[in-house]
Structure 1
Amino acid sequence: MNGVHPTEGDQVARAEELTKAYGEGEARVLALRGVNATFHRGGFTAVMGPSGSGKSTLLHCLAGLDRPTSGRVHLGDVELGALGDRALTRLRRERLGFVFQQFNLLPTLTARENILLPCGLARTEPDPDWLARLVGLLGLTGRLDHRPAQLSGGQQQRVACARALVTRPEVVFADEPTGNLDSHASADLLRFLRRSADELGQTVVMVTHDPSAAAWADRALFLVDGRRRHTVQDPTPAEVLRVMRELSAVPEAA
């Protein structure tokens, strides 16, 4: 952690009273219940909570992968709910980056080709200096001509990170990005996400259940039963564990 927190003037994205319901009648489930959150340029936020707390649902709504039942999501001055499906797809492609637990690399493409895939889809030319910087930071210089099957899990996830950042997105959304990695590869990945915020000014929103992973972030937001219940600035593993224990003992509000 760098100890410097982004300011209100750096606001990149925000959620206002987000509610997400699935099903109808007696089968209706509220995954999010009036969640508010703001994200700033260069900030690294961990979203935490027990299974079923709404972590991934919040990320999916923020990223335009799912539409909330009510409430609003803004990316800059654009409200995502006002966009049609085609415009929303274009916004995700041009302004957002994604890193998931599954690497989602195309097996027939080299690492370089996988990294550059978003540029091809957007029909834009990659910035060679930016690409070289990403590849260098991620330690992939000697692996660009390898296909995914020739790479370790950690290397594949670093390729996925480079792919997420190659278009210089406004926000990178990471959903359990260390879930399929060993401890060494996880630390390498988290170190890069930390450096991308500190050195590249990248905004990162990461869903995780791992207190050690959350400790790399500037802050940790805690959800319980679809509600935002707590925030910790400059989290440590011990502090995250303490809050999780306390929140697990708090009954759901009426």
Structure 2
Amino acid sequence: MSSDAALAVEAAEVRKSYLSALGERVVALDGVDLTVARGEMVAIMGPSGSGKSTLLNVLAGLDRADQGRILIGGTDITRLSDRRLTRLRRTRVGFVFQGFNLLPQLTARQNIVLPLELARRRADTARLDELVAVLGLGDRLEHRPGELSGGQQQRVAVARALLPRPDIVFADEPTGALDSQSSAELLGFLRRAVDTEGQSVVLVTHDQDAARWADRIVRIADGRATSPADVAALP
């Protein structure tokens, strides 16, 4: 598989298995192929236990695939050392999780800029101000997570993910803890990032309303990716 500059992510023949508590081998991913273009939003859907979150984790470099090849922005992450993989994640990958993953002792502002500080990079002040304004966080930056609503915490997590201008953002059930209005606001912002900035987003969700914001859907069943589905075909 050759690298394509128009692709944010390329994955081929990705396999991953685990040992169960009983010592049995469980196949989580069974030869998955997937590409995500630059400036594309892809929703990954499937029943519980289908492998969709495992796929997200190995695509993002949070977990290692047993076999296969994964490229992020042309870099084969399956060949990187742990140290180089950590560096790549800090600079070229953004994460948005259902549990927010904010540090409770830090303010919203400190949480947003933390990945850049860990990478020893200076935050783009204009970029930060733009994200804060669009996400409606201007009067919440000095508040700690415990002083924010769930929707506000998730918006902080989105700002943190997008501030470094990563090649791609991976979002695992980002609306699972939000009400319908907050969910629509969050997905609308991710959609605008795709349409206006050429951002790439991979969204794992069980929610058909969330999946409708994507350009296309990839369904996962028994660790295998089925043919991409048209968003318009959702009931």
> What is the CA–CA distance in structure 1 between the aligned matches of 2:204 and 2:9, rounded to whole Å?
16
CA deviations on 1:202-228 (whole Å, 9 max, x unpaired) are 110010000000000111100110111
Partner of 1:12: 8
> What is the CA–CA distance in structure 1 between the aligned matches of 2:149 and 2:221, rounded to whole Å?
35
Residue 7 of structure 2 corresponds to residue 29 of structure 1? no
Partner of 2:176: 179
Partner of 2:81: 84
> What is the CA–CA distance in structure 2 between the aligned matches of 1:76 and 1:144, rounded to whole Å?
32
> What is the CA–CA distance in structure 2 between the aligned matches of 1:228 and 1:136, rounded to whole Å?
38
Please tell me whether the aligned partners of residues 42 and 218 of structure 2 are also in contact (alpha carbons under 8 angstroms).
Answer: yes
Matches within 5 A, 1:51-200: 51-200=48-197
Residue 43 of structure 2 corresponds to residue 46 of structure 1? yes
> What is the CA–CA distance in structure 2 between the aligned matches of 1:221 and 1:178, rounded to whole Å?
18
Q: How many residues align?
A: 231
Q: 2:226 aligns with which of 220, 226, 229?
A: 229
- Where in structure 2 are there 5+ consecutive unaligned residues? none
- Where in structure 1 are there 5+ consecutive unaligned residues? 1-7, 242-254
Please tell me whether the aligned partners of residues 223 and 230 of structure 1 are also in contact (alpha carbons under 8 angstroms).
Answer: no
> What is the CA–CA distance in structure 2 between the aligned matches of 1:180 and 1:76, rounded to whole Å?
30
Partner of 1:220: 217
Please tell me whether the aligned partners of residues 5 and 74 of structure 2 are also in contact (alpha carbons under 8 angstroms).
Answer: no
Higher helix share: 1
> What is the CA–CA distance in structure 1 between the aligned matches of 2:47 and 2:188, rounded to whole Å?
24
1:103 alignment partner, SS class: coil
2:8 alignment partner, SS class: strand
Amino acid corresponding to residue 137 of structure 1 in structure 2: V
> What is the CA–CA distance in structure 1 between the aligned matches of 2:74 and 2:157, rounded to whole Å?
28
Amino acid corresponding to residue 158 of structure 1 in structure 2: R
TM-score by length of 2: 0.94
Moved more, 61-70 or 224-233: 224-233
Amino acid corresponding to residue 67 of structure 2 in structure 1: S
> What is the CA–CA distance in structure 2 between the aligned matches of 1:78 and 1:201, rounded to whole Å?
19
> What is the CA–CA distance in structure 1 between the aligned matches of 2:205 and 2:183, rounded to whole Å?
12
